[in-house]
Amino acid sequence: MATIRDVAKLAGVSVATISRYLNKSGYVNADTELNIKHAIEKLNYLPSVVARGLAGKSTKTFALILPDISNPFFPELARAVEDVASTYGFTVILCNSDGQIGKEKNYIDILKSKNIDGIIFASNTLGQEDVDKLASFNIPFVCLDRAPTDKSCSVVRSNNREGGRLAVKHLLESGSKKIGHIYGPQDLIPAKERLIGYEESVRGFDWFSPSLMVQGDFGISGGIKATEELIRRHPDIDAIFAGNDLMAVGALKALHRMGIQVPGQVVVCGFDGINMTEITEPELTTIAQPIYDMGALVSRILIKKIEGTIEADQIYELDVTLIPRESTKRSG
């Protein structure tokens, strides 16, 4: 595929002249314009956003760094980010870091080299040195969901702690007498806050014991293993609150394998509100995050930062909603 250098060579001009022509960001005489036009046509050159960026103009592109693209929560988030970005004429580059710190740091340098206009981090590994580097590169950024709270940056997140409390309240109201919790990785702030919401809601009950809290991995297999461990420890539990929907799906699978009826014997509540919860059997009760609103808001905030219309960093904490379904509907 022809590059901007091939076009410059064929047209007999510098790369900077090509960039000025592409970005309409400076004088190019008529003859030169014609030469460049002919060269672009002859080479079938597609001006890359980087070519336009060489003139130091906005590439109208920003990146969304996600920790786990295989978890449906993140594609639903990315959908909203991209919807809003495209209405403002921005392109979104999706980066999947698998939650690997080195990969995320590497992305910052790669994206800088592509003249990216801004970055949305949906990960929790941002360190102060990364924040300082982004500032030195003059790259605006916003954090989303798993954001570190000790960094100076704007953050869009859900009220995870209230969501933990809401899950327990619903399970108690559905007649539960002993509630177990499968929590996500504790280096992730949302998982930690949901655990806090659960624990502060149940620790006053005489049936509560710390052994009712089992760690999962925010995935289906982790939910299966944690449920098996919960039932082994407490065969008499009649309710499980899982810290995200994939672990709740794992809980449904494990309980089915063990011949335990849901909701008849054990009720199950998840967290996130991903579309998958509508197709499980039984359909899954969940604490829904405002996924679309989070993605739309973070996109708008970053664009305003890129355009310089907002400066101040702010925490935007959005409410979560209980969506009651079959998995917590005890008969009778």
- Determine, following the binding rule CB under 6 A, whether residue 61 of this chain makes contact with ligand RIB: no
* Interaction residues for ligand RIB, span 253-272 (CB under 6 A): 271-272
Residue whose Cβ sits closest to ligand RIB: 244
Residue with tokens 């197709």: 279
- Determine, following the binding rule CB under 6 A, whether residue 140 of this chain makes contact with ligand RIB: no
Nearer to ligand RIB, 199 or 217 (CB): 217
Q: List % helix, strand, coil for the chain (3-state, nearest 5).
A: 45, 15, 40
CA distance 11 to 176: 76
| Shortest distance (Å) from residue 103 CB to ligand RIB | 17
| Shortest distance (Å) from residue 40 CB to ligand RIB | 44
Candidates 36, 55, 119, 188: give the one binding ligand RIB (CB under 6 A).
188
Distances (CA, A) of 125 to 21, 106, 148, 149, 261: 40, 12, 7, 11, 40
| Shortest distance (Å) from residue 304 CB to ligand RIB | 24
CA distance 7 to 9: 5
Candidates 21, 107, 183, 218: give the one binding ligand RIB (CB under 6 A).
218
Three-class secondary structure of residue 95 per DSSP: strand
CB 226, CB 240: distance < 8 Å: no
| Shortest distance (Å) from residue 246 CB to ligand RIB | 6
Nearer to ligand RIB, 278 or 307 (CB): 278
Exposure on the CB side of residue 78, measured as CA atoms within 13 A:
20
Q: Which two tokens stand for residue 272?
A: 């996130």
Q: Which two tokens stand for residue 36?
A: 């460049």
Show the beta-strand stretches assigned E in 33-146. 61-66, 91-96, 118-121, 141-144
- Determine, following the binding rule CB under 6 A, whether residue 148 of this chain makes contact with ligand RIB: no
- Determine, following the binding rule CB under 6 A, whether residue 146 of this chain makes contact with ligand RIB: yes
CA 148 distance to own-chain centroid: 13
| Shortest distance (Å) from residue 184 CB to ligand RIB | 7
- Determine, following the binding rule CB under 6 A, whether residue 145 of this chain makes contact with ligand RIB: yes
Candidates 17, 125, 159, 244: give the one binding ligand RIB (CB under 6 A).
244
Candidates 140, 190, 197, 216: give the one binding ligand RIB (CB under 6 A).
190
Distances (CA, A) of 116 to 120, 232, 307: 11, 51, 13
| Shortest distance (Å) from residue 74 CB to ligand RIB | 7
CA distance 290 to 208: 30
- Determine, following the binding rule CB under 6 A, whether residue 73 of this chain makes contact with ligand RIB: yes
Nearer to ligand RIB, 265 or 275 (CB): 275
Number of residues that bind ligand RIB (CB under 6 A): 11
Interacting residues with ligand RIB (CB under 6 A): 71, 73, 145-146, 188, 190, 218, 244, 246, 271-272
